[in-house]
Amino acid sequence: MAVFPPKERIWWNEPIERVELIWIGVAFLWGLFMFGFMITWHFIGQQNLNKEAYRIAPSVYETKVEEFAKKYQVREEQGVPVVKPPAGADVYILGRLWQWWPVLELEKGTSYRIHLSTIDWMHGFSLQPVNINISAYPGYEHVFTLTPTESGEFGIVCNEFCGIGHHTMTGKIYVKDQKQAEVNQRLVAER
């Protein structure tokens, strides 16, 4: 019984029960299976972002993002530009105290190269509800490919504590279904 101490004080010399050996074997084999499957998930799971990273001065990156926003701005939302880049374009997002800038408007089913960096502190880029998480650092430009598969409004939150305004550090990505919009326009025109 486990309630009472073993009769022999040197318990590790006691024989192991058969059932315990079976459970140890099952746990060991399951651990090996999961370790091997982590490698497999990387290639077949499509949940890991293959990304690149380059060193860049924060001021240079900030200039790139401002030029990108000025070039493709379609409107403003609470003083923040909403940017609609052409299909397949390079897209720039900047993290700074306490916002993700600018707001993006992307097309469903189109791949974009997303460039991501910060100019002040380390921030966490968390795209919700799809759960894409990237740690963004000043001085590094992270580049990854994103192909939106659903239309809607997606939120960006900072998931690395960055100071007193951390809870307000948010951003947005709108994904529009261009084909559905064209169908809706034809229906309205036919009426």
| Contact status, residue 94 vs residue 101, Cβ threshold 8 Å | yes
Instruction: Please tell me whether residues 34 and 92 are part of one structural domain.
Output: no
56 and 108 fall within a common domain: yes
**What is the pLDDT at residue 140?**
94
Does residue 143 share a domain with residue 100?
yes
For residues 47 and 5, what is the distance between their CA atoms, to the nearest angstrom?
49
Tell whether 65 and 107 lie within a shared domain: yes
Identity at 4, one-letter amino acid code = F
Asked, for residue 2, whether it belongs to a domain, the answer is: no
Residue 104: CB atoms within 10 Å: 26
Residue at 187 is within a domain: no
* Contact call for residues 136 and 117 (beta carbons, < 8 A): yes
Determine the Cα–Cα distance for residues 119 and 138; give it in Å rounded to an integer: 5
Which CATH number characterizes residue 134's domain? 2.60.40.420
> Are 119 and 70 members of one domain?
yes
Tokens 């401002």, residue?
66
Query: In the chain, pLDDT over 90 holds for what percent of residues?
Result: 58
Residue 131 inside a domain? The answer is yes
pLDDT digits (tens, 9 = 90+) for 147-181: 899 999 999 999 999 889 889 999 999 999 877 66
pLDDT digits (tens, 9 = 90+) for 102-119: 999 999 999 999 999 999
5 in a structural domain: no
pLDDT exceeds cutoff 90 at 59: yes
- Residue 62: in which H helix or E strand, if any? helix 58-72
Do 71 and 40 belong together in one domain?
A: no
1, 15, 31, 153 from 19: Cα distances, Å:
15, 12, 18, 53
Q: What is the pLDDT of residues 71-110, one digit of tens each?
A: 999 999 988 999 999 988 899 999 998 899 999 999 999 9
Tell me the residue range of the domain where 161 lies: 51-181
Q: How many residues are there in the chain?
A: 191
Q: What angle do CA 63, 66, 69 make, to 5 degrees?
A: 150
pLDDT higher than threshold 70 for residue 48? no
- Tell me how far apart the alpha carbons of residues 142 and 1 are, in angstroms, rounded to a whole number: 57
Average pLDDT over residues 26-44: 88
Confirm whether 176 is domain-assigned.
Answer: yes
- What's the structural domain count of the chain? 2
Do both 32 and 64 map to the same domain? no
What's at 47, amino acid-wise? Answer: Q
Whether residues 161 and 128 share a domain: the answer is: yes
The token pair that represents 34 in the structure block = 């999961």
Considering the domain boundaries, does residue 3 fall inside one?
A: no
Q: Are residues 26 and 106 in the same domain?
A: no
